[in-house]
């Protein structure tokens, strides 16, 4: 998983359309069109992996954009990782069998940590545990509920359970195009030996480089790419 540092475009889907939220808050989204068109564009520009999120699934607990996301998976020649509304082993295995390369577990992993071990037993390196931090604690249910968990401590626990990697999102800066904070990322990176994928706040090429220097194996970029702050080609060249 991520043998070299990657810049991973986000394709977050709400009501069948690509949407970027600010700070994870419902109602703050800006729409960017058809998911398949967006995904194909990123792959044409050099993306090796796509980060797919069913936003409705994240908020409601059930996958609402399955058809749109499957269309993306069928259309592109790239690795895909998917989160949002994946709550059971059966959900995860079904997605892996349908062509998703990695499933992202957030709420499900917090509520039932053993789900990570159950999936990983037959599908090693297929689980990214999503640790989304707001105010220094892990939050779940579409970033609406606090858990009291420390992100670095939680990351180490999930590594022991077989997680292939950690997706760390700094919710406090997510979608705001105001820059990243490297210290929280460094804490998680130092806590584990598995890849850490960083997300949240990327606004400039310097932010991309900073996250790489902080030890991240990859960075997920959404708003900055969609708003044209820089191109994917420029980001790939920068690292």
Question: Per residue in 200-222, pLDDT tens?
Answer: 889 999 999 999 999 999 999 99
Helix (H) or strand (E) holding 166: strand 165-170
CA distances for 136 relative to 50, 76, 100, 187, 235, angstroms: 27, 36, 30, 11, 28
CATH classification (class only), 6-238? alpha beta
Q: Count CA atoms within 13 Å of residue 35 on its CB side.
A: 28
Domain ranges of the chain: 6-238
pLDDT tens track for 3-42? 999 999 999 999 889 988 755 566 666 889 999 999 999 9
Other beta carbons less than 10 A from residue 177's beta carbon: 17
Binned at pLDDT 50, 70 and 90, residue 57 comes out as low
Is 80 exceeded by the pLDDT of residue 141?
no
Binned at pLDDT 50, 70 and 90, residue 60 comes out as low
Average pLDDT, the chain: 91
Active site residues: 12, 132
Binned at pLDDT 50, 70 and 90, residue 140 comes out as confident
Residue among 71, 52, 73, 69 nearest 8 (CA): 52
pLDDT tens track for 167-185? 999 888 776 667 899 999 9
Calpha distance 206→155 (Å, rounded): 26
Report the SS3 class of residue 83: strand
Burial of 183 (0-12, 13-18, 19+ CB in 10 A): exposed
Query: Is the CA virtual torsion 92, 56, 16, 9 positive or negative?
Result: negative
Calpha distance 15→227 (Å, rounded): 20
Does the reported pTM lie above 0.85? yes
């Amino acid at each position: 998983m991520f043998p070299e540092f990657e810049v991973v475009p986000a394709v977050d889907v709400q009501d069948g359309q690509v949407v970027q939220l600010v700070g994870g808050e419902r109602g703050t989204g800006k729409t960017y069109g058809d998911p398949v068109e967006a995904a194909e564009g990123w792959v044409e520009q050099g993306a090796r992996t796509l980060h797919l999120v069913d936003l409705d699934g994240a908020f409601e607990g059930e996958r609402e954009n399955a058809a749109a996301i499957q269309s993306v998976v069928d259309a592109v020649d790239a690795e895909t990782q998917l989160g949002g509304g994946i709550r059971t082993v059966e959900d995860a295995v079904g997605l892996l069998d349908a062509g998703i390369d990695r499933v992202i577990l957030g709420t499900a992993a917090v509520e039932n940590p053993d789900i990570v071990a159950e999936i990983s037993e037959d599908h090693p390196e297929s689980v990214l545990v999503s640790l989304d931090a707001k105010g220094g604690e892990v939050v779940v249910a579409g970033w609406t509920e606090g858990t009291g968990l420390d992100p670095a401590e939680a990351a180490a626990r999930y590594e022991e359970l077989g997680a292939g990697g950690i997706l760390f999102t700094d919710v406090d800066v997510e979608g705001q195009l105001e820059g990243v904070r490297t210290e929280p990322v460094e804490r998680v990176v130092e806590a584990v030996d598995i890849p850490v994928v960083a997300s949240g706040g990327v606004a400039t090429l310097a932010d991309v480089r900073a996250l790489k220097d902080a030890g991240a194996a990859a960075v997920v970029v959404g708003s900055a790419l969609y708003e044209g702050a820089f191109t994917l080609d420029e980001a790939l060249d920068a690292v």
